[in-house]
């Protein structure tokens, strides 16, 4: 015998998969290799049988309905593959099995009882049905096949539910049997065996792989092929990590570690017999049969990655035994684990602090209560005396294992693992590293599992390409421009920055949409408008938090005055915020401080370069100076594009009212220009800068000198405002003439000096950095200890959608460096 093939549940589960399976078998026949095949039950059948058993044990008759469903699935397949004239014989055969199965269930229903022994008999029908069915299909194809009930060749002990194989008897039975079948292809039921009395047993869930391995090892085959529904063993469970990819070669030890820890793709003990004989196992995809898949063999082949794969157990409980009386007292852990082993509780992971003050271990959550009671009883004396504080149980946890032989040679794997989890706000409840250094495990909250798997996977396998998950709020001018810029730079970012900005959520004042798989940047606005649901910011943010994606950023591109209320919660959920919206930073100082502190403590960023001077690098420059130890003496700025334009245009001979009108017509002002002329917006900006250099100023600390006289300010409408402004012409004429007479110009300047902010119209002379200005430029001058004699000046267009969006863009990309 050269090969054993094994087809899993999904490969036997449908007409489509069985067609594929048949052609794989035919191909093997054509290549004249000598082989046999092991089959699982049709997918889902084992679970249905177990459920039927549980219903029957409660006396419920609807257990039989499940069997009807199973029967129909098999009949459908038979009717598809077997021509009408042969069908009745095959259907009769299947029906005989189904009737036996129903009798077993009826017995259980009457007795209202299910034992491990009767349960094994019950589930054995899954493999017996599927293998019989496929036997008939292959016979129909005139292949030289024979049906083998594995109970004839695999002998186990009486440990029903998960029996141990008696290899001595099994190996001789297998060899004796195969001596009798000549050239026939044996079609063997997976998963089942029998004890020395001939009673049906099973090898544990997923045990068909084991069957293949036992038979393969007994016959000394050259290779075992495990045919399943994925492209081999992958770097992580592809259902949980979309970017998982096939591991071409893996050592037995690594595969054991990965599969033991949750990856179902092969069943752990199944490797052992093959391992002992050095038989390679190939994991292949029935649905993609030409793909090379994974070879599991003796040696580890080095790869470019430090780790080989990641696996997880979704749900477990952690038991903590703690107390000062445990320190240095030999035997506590011996006693502990002997109790657990006596009760057949399997321990998934153990972690003990070197102080010996506590031991914690992970078990299946269903066992938690039992274990707690057991230990409370066992350690009753120690608990009473206070040597042990108590037995504490934590639930709703998951464990992730990072596996690979390459870790032995590398330092820093756990550092990298812990730091990426920390950065994403994922708390590590416990950790353990096997002394083989093949596996580092971390226990985390179940709600963080998917996020953790994905960031770990990205960190170890895609360090070249990081993904930022972007939620965009606001699809007005800035939001729209930002999307356009992101789309235009997509390829550049991937190629030169190793960064993918994936838009996963978008909202505007009307609609909102979240799509984990990503939203096309170019059509995002149409998509949200057409396919989104109606907007409700609170539920949008709730969904973002629930989705719990790694490296997430929330971009608030609105002028909305309420959205900032969500920032704190976003930070607490480890989501960064990027925004041109000034509301959050210019509110009460307490709020400013709380936002910044929370972001800092959560390891996320709050970025708002565009709060001042749009895309001009004002805040970054300021923060850079502060971080490098410089001290600010003075900040001066023309911080409003509108007012900059107005005073650049307002020269002797022009009417102030006309200039303001012109600014309004060009769209430079708010609908009511008084909002610009009030200086409030400028005040917010300088207030933010003052806070950036560490001052705890409030809005009320700012002195704003008025530009316009009270009559203009109080006008009842925009039109009457312009009328009043006309009437005040002489006042403005006087101001500008005075300035020009002195060789000066008028500028609306915000200044911060000696911890005080003043804002007002000033004359500047020809030596002043603000003397030469154009259009709607912003300009800002930092006078510091280092820039003492000549200030550092930043000047340029400080408003407009393009430059603001590009500032937001730069903030977002800077987060990618941290991801
Ligand atoms: P079969 O029915 O063929 O025995 P299983 O359901 O037992 O198949 O195992 C295949 C499944 O294992 C895949 O569909 C996949 O979702 C899951 N799986 C978990 N971890 C991994 C992994 N690291 N690589 C491949 N598959 C995995
Ligand atoms: N049918 C069994 C199960 O579902 C065995 C197997 O598929 O490997 O566990
Ligand atoms: Mg399986």
Ligand 1 closest atom vs CA 239: 16
Ligand 2 closest atom vs CA 126: 1
CA distances 440 to 309, 407, 429, Å, are 11, 9, 14
pLDDT in tens, 648-693: 999 999 999 999 999 999 888 888 999 999 999 999 999 999 999 9
pLDDT of residue 342: 85
* Secondary structure E strands in 364-429: 390-403
Question: At residue 540, does pLDDT exceed 90?
Answer: yes
Q: Which of 511, 664, 685, 795 is catalytic?
A: 685
Q: Which of 765, 772, 757 is nearest to 682 (CA)?
A: 757
User: Which phi and psi (to 5°) does residue 323 adopt?
Assistant: 165, 150
Ligand 1 pocket residue status of 127, Cβ below 6 Å: no
Which of 237, 245, 308, 398 best tests ligand 1's pocket when mutated (most atoms within 8 Å of CB)? Answer: 237
pLDDT in tens, 733-773: 999 999 999 999 999 999 999 999 999 999 999 999 999 99
Q: Do 472 and 507 meet the contact criterion of CB atoms below 8 Å apart? A: yes
DSSP states of 99-132 as a string?
HHHHHHHHHHHHHT---HHHHHHHHHHHHHHHHH
pLDDT of residue 475: 97
pLDDT in tens, 593-642: 999 999 999 989 999 999 999 999 999 999 999 999 999 999 999 999 99
For residue 390, the 8-state DSSP code is E
Range in 343-352, 565-574, 581-590, 606-615 the model is least confident about: 343-352
Q: How far is the CA of 22 from the centre of ligand 1 (A)?
A: 21
Categorize the per-residue pLDDT at 354 as very low, low, confident or very high, splitting at 50, 70 and 90: low
User: CB neighbours of 485 closer than 8 A, spacing ≥ 6?
Assistant: 805, 806, 809
For residue 251, the cross-strand partners are 297
pLDDT in tens, 86-102: 999 999 999 999 999 99
Question: At residue 213, does pLDDT exceed 60?
Answer: yes
Handedness of CA 364, 369, 370, 374 (dihedral sign): positive
For residue 708, the 8-state DSSP code is S
DSSP states of 25-73 as a string?
HHHHHHTT--EEEEEPPSTTHHHHHHHHHHHHHTT-TTHHHHHHHHHHH
Max Cα–Cα distance, the chain, nearest Å? 118
Question: At residue 220, does pLDDT exceed 90?
Answer: yes
pLDDT of residue 557: 97
Ligand 1 pocket residue status of 250, Cβ below 6 Å: no
pLDDT, averaged across the chain: 93
Q: Do 621 and 794 meet the contact criterion of CB atoms below 8 Å apart? A: yes
With residue 299 as reference, give the H or E element that holds it. none
Q: Which of 778, 791, 493 is nearest to 611 (CA)?
A: 778
pLDDT in tens, 119-138: 999 999 999 999 999 999 99
Distance CA 400, CA 414 (A): 12
Q: Which of 470, 418, 420, 505 is nearest to 576 (CA)?
A: 470
Distance CA 225, CA 296 (A): 10
Say how far residue 813 (Cα) sits from the centre of its chain. 20
For residue 401, the cross-strand partners are 311, 441
Q: Do 435 and 351 meet the contact criterion of CB atoms below 8 Å apart? A: no
Ligand 1 pocket residue status of 206, Cβ below 6 Å: yes
Question: At residue 414, does pLDDT exceed 90?
Answer: no
Q: What angle do CA 167, 173, 178 make, to 5 degrees?
A: 125
Question: At residue 340, does pLDDT exceed 90?
Answer: no
Ligand 2 pocket residue status of 9, Cβ below 6 Å: yes
Provide the residues around ligand 3 (an ion) whose CB is within 5 A.
8, 206
Categorize the per-residue pLDDT at 435 as very low, low, confident or very high, splitting at 50, 70 and 90: low
For residue 797, the cross-strand partners are 777
Mean pLDDT (whole number) for 699-707: 95
Ligand 2 closest atom vs CA 209: 8
Distance CA 679, CA 707 (A): 8
For residue 200, the cross-strand partners are 194
Going across the sheet that includes 145-148, the strands are: 145-148, 185-189, 35-39, 3-7, 223-228, 281-285, 294-297, 249-251
Which of 41, 208, 227, 238 best tests ligand 1's pocket when mutated (most atoms within 8 Å of CB)? Answer: 238
* Pairing assessment for the beta strands 632-638 and 777-784 based on DSSP bridges: antiparallel
Annotation marks residue 545 as catalytic = no
Give me the helix-helix angle, 729-741 and 656-665, nearest 10°: 100
User: CB neighbours of 205 closer than 8 A, spacing ≥ 6?
Assistant: 46, 267
Question: At residue 355, does pLDDT exceed 70?
Answer: no
Handedness of CA 727, 729, 734, 736 (dihedral sign): positive
Question: At residue 224, does pLDDT exceed 90?
Answer: yes
Q: How far is the CA of 583 from the centre of ligand 3 (A)?
A: 55
Ligand 1 pocket residue status of 237, Cβ below 6 Å: yes
Percent helix, strand, coil in the chain, to 5, is: 45, 20, 35
pLDDT of residue 328: 59
Q: HSE (CB half, 13 Å, CA atoms) of 203?
A: 27
Whose Cα sits closest to atom 2 in ligand 2?
206
Ligand 1 closest atom vs CA 309: 23
Question: At residue 819, does pLDDT exceed 60?
Answer: no
Ligand 1 pocket residue status of 13, Cβ below 6 Å: no
Q: Where are the alpha helices (DSSP H) in 392-500?
A: 413-423, 449-461, 477-492
User: Which phi and psi (to 5°) does residue 516 adopt?
Assistant: -60, -30
For residue 442, the cross-strand partners are 400, 431
Share above pLDDT 70 across residues of the chain, in percent, rounded to a whole number: 98
State the ligand closest to the CA atom of 127: 2
Tokens 């007795």, located at residue: 111
Mean pLDDT (whole number) for 197-207: 95
pLDDT of residue 63: 92
Range in 173-177, 380-384, 529-533 the model is least confident about: 380-384
pLDDT of residue 303: 76
Q: Do 405 and 345 meet the contact criterion of CB atoms below 8 Å apart? A: no
């Amino acid at each position: 015998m050269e090969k054993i093939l094994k087809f899993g549940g999904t490969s036997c589960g449908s007409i489509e998969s069985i067609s594929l399976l048949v052609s794989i078998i035919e191909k093997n026949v054509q290549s004249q290799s000598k082989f046999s095949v092991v089959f699982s039950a049709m997918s889902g059948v084992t679970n249905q049988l177990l459920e039927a058993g549980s219903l029957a044990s409660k006396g419920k008759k609807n257990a039989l309905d499940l069997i009807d469903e199973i029967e129909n699935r098999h009949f459908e397949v038979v009717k598809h593959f077997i021509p009408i004239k042969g069908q009745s014989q095959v259907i009769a055969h299947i029906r005989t099995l189904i009737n036996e199965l129903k009798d077993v269930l009826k017995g259980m229903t009457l007795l209202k009882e299910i034992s491990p022994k009767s349960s094994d008999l019950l589930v054995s029908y899954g493999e017996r049905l599927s293998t019989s069915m496929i036997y008939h299909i292959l016979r129909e194809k005139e292949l030289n096949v024979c049906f083998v009930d594995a109970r004839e060749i695999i002998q186990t002990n009486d440990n029903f539910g998960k029996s141990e194989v008696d290899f001595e008897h099994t190996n001789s039975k297998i060899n004796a049997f195969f001596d009798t079948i000549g050239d026939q292809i044996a079609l063997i039921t997976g998963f089942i065996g029998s004890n020395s009395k001939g009673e049906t047993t099973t090898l544990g869930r997923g045990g068909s792989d084991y069957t293949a391995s036992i038979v393969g090892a007994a016959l000394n085959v050259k290779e075992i092929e495990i045919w399943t529904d994925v492209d081999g063993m992958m770097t992580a469970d592809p259902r949980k990590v979309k970017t998982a990819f096939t591991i071409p070669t893996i050592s037995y030890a690594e595969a054991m570690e990965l599969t033991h820890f949750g990856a179902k793709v092969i069943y752990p003990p199944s490797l052992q017999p093959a391992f002992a004989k050095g038989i390679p196992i190939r994991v292949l995809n029935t649905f993609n049969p030409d793909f090379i898949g994974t070879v599991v063999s003796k040696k580890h082949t080095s790869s470019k990655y430090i780790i080989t794969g990641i696996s997880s157990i979704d749900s477990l409980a952690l038991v903590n035994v703690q107390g000062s009386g445990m320190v240095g007292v030999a035997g506590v852990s011996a006693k502990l684990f002997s109790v657990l082993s006596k009760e057949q509780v399997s321990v998934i992971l153990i972690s003990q602090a070197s102080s010996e003050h506590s031991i914690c271990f992970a078990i299946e959550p269903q066992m938690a209560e039992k274990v707690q009671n057991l230990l409370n009883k066992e350690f009753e004396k120690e608990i009473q005396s206070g040597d042990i504080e108590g037995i504490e149980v934590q639930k709703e946890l998951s464990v992730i294992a990072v596996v690979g032989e390459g870790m032995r040679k590398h330092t820093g794997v756990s550092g990298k693992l812990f730091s990426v989890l920390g950065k994403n706000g994922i708390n590590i409840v416990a950790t353990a590293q096997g002394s083989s250094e093949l596996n580092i495990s971390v226990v985390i909250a179940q709600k963080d599992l998917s996020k953790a798997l994905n960031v770990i996977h990205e960190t170890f396998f895609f360090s070249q390409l990081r993904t930022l998950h972007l939620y965009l709020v606001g699809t007005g001018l800035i939001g729209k421009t930002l999307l356009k810029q992101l789309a235009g730079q997509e390829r550049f970012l991937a190629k030169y920055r190793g960064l993918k900005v994936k838009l996963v959520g978008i909202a505007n004042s009307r609609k909102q949409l979240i799509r984990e798989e990503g939203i096309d940047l170019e059509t995002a606005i149409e998509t949200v408008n057409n396919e989104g649901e109606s907007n409700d910011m609170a539920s949008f943010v709730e969904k973002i938090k629930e989705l719990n994606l790694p490296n997430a950023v929330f971009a608030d591109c609105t002028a909305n005055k309420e959205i900032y209320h969500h920032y704190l919660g976003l930070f607490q959920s480890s989501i960064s915020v990027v925004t041109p919206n000034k509301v959050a930073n210019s509110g009460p100082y307490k709020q400013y401080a709380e936002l910044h502190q929370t972001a800092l403590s959560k390891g996320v960023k709050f970025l708002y370069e565009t709060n001042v001077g749009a895309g001009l690098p004002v805040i970054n420059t300021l923060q850079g100076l502060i971080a490098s130890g410089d001290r600010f003496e003075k900040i001066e700025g023309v911080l409003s594009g509108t007012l900059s334009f107005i005073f650049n245009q307002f020269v002797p001979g022009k009417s102030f009212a006309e200039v303001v009108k012109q600014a309004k017509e060009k769209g430079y002002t708010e609908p009511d220009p008084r909002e610009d002329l009030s200086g409030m917006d400028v005040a917010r900006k300088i207030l933010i800068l003052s806070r950036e250099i560490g001052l705890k100023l409030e809005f009320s600390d700012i002195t704003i000198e008025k530009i316009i006289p009270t009559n203009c300010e109080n006008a009842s409408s925009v039109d009457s405002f312009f009328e009043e402004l006309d009437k005040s012409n002489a006042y403005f004429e006087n101001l500008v003439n005075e300035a020009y007479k002195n060789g000066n110009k008028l500028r609306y300047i915000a200044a911060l000096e000696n911890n005080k902010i003043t804002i007002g119209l000033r004359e500047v002379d020809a030596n002043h950095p603000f003397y030469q200005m154009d259009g709607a430029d912003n300009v800002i001058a930092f006078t510091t200890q280092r820039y003492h004699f000549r200030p550092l000046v930043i000047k340029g267009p400080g408003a407009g959608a393009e430059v603001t969006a590009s500032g937001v863009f730069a903030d977002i990309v800077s987060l990618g460096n941290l991801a």
